[in-house]
Amino acid sequence: MPPAGTLELLTAPHAPVLGWSSYFGDDAASSPCIWDAPQLRPTSSGRAAIALALEAFGICPGDRVLVPTYHCATMVAPIAALGAEPVFFPIHPTGAPVLAVLDRLLDDRTRAIIAPHYFGLPTPMAELRQFCDARRLCLIEDCAHTFFGLSDLRPIGSWGDYAIASLPKFFPVAEGGCLASWRHELFPRQLHPRRLVEEARALANALESGARYGRLPGANALIKAAFALNARVRRGSATLQPDAGQASDLDVATLLSEFRADAIAFSRPTTVSWLLARHHGRQRLVGQRRRNYQALAELLEGCPNARLLRPELPEAAVPYVLPLQVDNPERYYQRIRATGVSLYRWDRVRWPGVPDFPEDVGAVWSQQIFQLSVHQDLDAADIGRIARTIRTILSSSDP
């Protein structure tokens, strides 16, 4: 271990990595999840699934769709791309909407609400479901962060008229999502098929990152040698880096362009990505994410200039990230990222023009919540290094 106060450069993967152990000998049984939905359609991303859910419900230009003040812009872009109006609502510290304000925001053009489960820690949904039923609102349950688990004793995704999910946040793939429903038949539009070269690239990327992190015993050396040779021949590798599924640097215009009729949003995911996600074992994924969350929470307890937003991991939750609330976030954010820690914040991917509400935590969360990855391909040593790095930076008195 380096002396206290020394910064380590971290080389752990930022996102799940392909490994034999996730496909062979792993148990598929534990933890309810989106795959259990009676109606399920593959999509190219979580945002594409939101677009298809809005379309399936018949949202038209001029309709209004409610979205939380604490959001990733990818949740809002599908609404604007349809010509509908995003209307922002405040949230409680549980992540649930402030229903009294929601009620005031409604008019006869308001037809749907997007309600996320943040960080992989389920948001209560029973009361919101009743609210939507009483007002004939379509509930789109955003499970991009929360693929597994229970909310108010029911499987995640089953409260919504539609549920959407994002595959790279939980599985070793660079793209893909799905639209699911426990309540309605899904007849979304026909999606464009993917080209063979895209399938080949998806497979190559998954194999390359699996071999790079030594997760494919028996084949690691061979795959690494093949990619090194290919890179030398092509003078530089053209492979994608896994990105933990976070749209960290997307601007509004780029996001909107993804929803043109011929654009990627209306394609299927590659079959390779879909199959890698669909057949991934659950037991190791669930266990390792829970262990990583609990270990990181313990190691960051009492950290200067920061507080754990949810020190206790709810039973049956399968976390995506650990949310850490940091004072003076501007001072620390880039410094932590520069060390290689997989860390995200939603300030730069917020939609412009979000109003302030006195009873809202969303505005503060957008600035102060650091989302720290706890994916299944980080081990105890990685978590230890991440915690030491964050503590060192948050304890420093450098300006």
Ligand X SMILES: Cc1ncc(COP(=O)(O)O)c(C=O)c1O
Q: Which residue's CB is nearer to ligand X, number 177 or number 210?
A: 177
Q: Is 389 in the site for ligand X (CB under 6 A)?
A: no
- Residues 140 and 129 sit within 8 Å (Cβ to Cβ): no
Phi and psi for 166 in degrees, rounded to 5? -130, 120
CA distance 56 to 145: 22
- Which one, of 193, 158, 184, 182, lies nearest residue 56 by Cα? 184
Both tokens of 363, joined, read 């505005």
Q: Which residue's CB is nearer to ligand X, number 75 or number 295?
A: 75
Exposure string of 128-154, with b = 16+ CB inside 10 Å and e = fewer, is: bbebbeeeebbbbbbbbbbbbbbbeee
CA distance 82 to 119: 27
Query: Among 158, 181, 246, 373, which residue interacts with ligand X (rule: CB under 6 A)?
Result: 246
Size of the site for ligand X (CB under 6 A): 15
CB atoms within 10 A of CB 100: 9
Query: Among 66, 84, 115, 144, which residue interacts with ligand X (rule: CB under 6 A)?
Result: 144
- Which one, of 332, 269, 352, lies nearest residue 88 by Cα? 352
Q: Which residue's CB is nearer to ligand X, number 318 or number 394?
A: 318
Cβ 116 to ligand X, closest distance in Å? 4
CA distance 259 to 280: 29
Considering only 9-17, 67-75, 81-89, 350-358, which stretch makes contact with ligand X by CB under 6 A?
Answer: 67-75
Cβ 39 to ligand X, closest distance in Å? 19
Query: Among 121, 247, 324, 387, which residue interacts with ligand X (rule: CB under 6 A)?
Result: 247
Cβ 346 to ligand X, closest distance in Å? 8
CA distance 98 to 360: 8
Long-range (24+ apart) CB contacts under 8 A made by 218-222 are: 218/20
Q: Is 46 in the site for ligand X (CB under 6 A)?
A: yes
Cβ 24 to ligand X, closest distance in Å? 27
CA distance 278 to 281: 9
Q: Which of residues 162-191 bind ligand X (CB under 6 A)?
A: 166, 177
CA distance 326 to 59: 38
Q: Which residue's CB is nearer to ligand X, number 142 or number 360?
A: 142
- Which one, of 288, 261, 271, 295, lies nearest residue 387 by Cα? 295
Cβ 301 to ligand X, closest distance in Å? 26
Cβ 173 to ligand X, closest distance in Å? 10
Considering only 26-34, 204-212, 240-248, 360-368, which stretch makes contact with ligand X by CB under 6 A?
Answer: 240-248
Cβ 85 to ligand X, closest distance in Å? 19
| Eight-state DSSP code of residue 82 | T
Q: Is 245 in the site for ligand X (CB under 6 A)?
A: yes
Cβ 226 to ligand X, closest distance in Å? 29
Q: Which residue's CB is nearer to ligand X, number 259 or number 332?
A: 259
Both tokens of 115, joined, read 């309600």
Distances (CA, A) of 164 to 37, 43, 301, 365, 383: 11, 9, 33, 22, 29
Q: Which residue's CB is nearer to ligand X, number 166 or number 292?
A: 166
Q: Which residue's CB is nearer to ligand X, number 320 or number 391?
A: 320
According to DSSP, the residues that pair with 241 across neighbouring strands are none
Q: Which residue's CB is nearer to ligand X, number 69 or number 392?
A: 69
Q: Which residue's CB is nearer to ligand X, number 86 or number 392?
A: 86
Query: Contact letters (x/-) for ligand X, 70-109, by CB under 6 A?
Result: --x-xx----------------------------------
Both tokens of 220, joined, read 């690691």
One-letter amino acid identity for 95?
Answer: G
Cβ 252 to ligand X, closest distance in Å? 14
Q: Is 324 in the site for ligand X (CB under 6 A)?
A: no
Cβ 254 to ligand X, closest distance in Å? 12
Helix, strand or coil for residue 186?
A: coil
Helix, strand or coil for residue 164?
A: strand
Residue ranges in contact with ligand X by CB under 6 A: 45-47, 72, 74-75, 116, 142, 144-145, 166, 177, 245-247
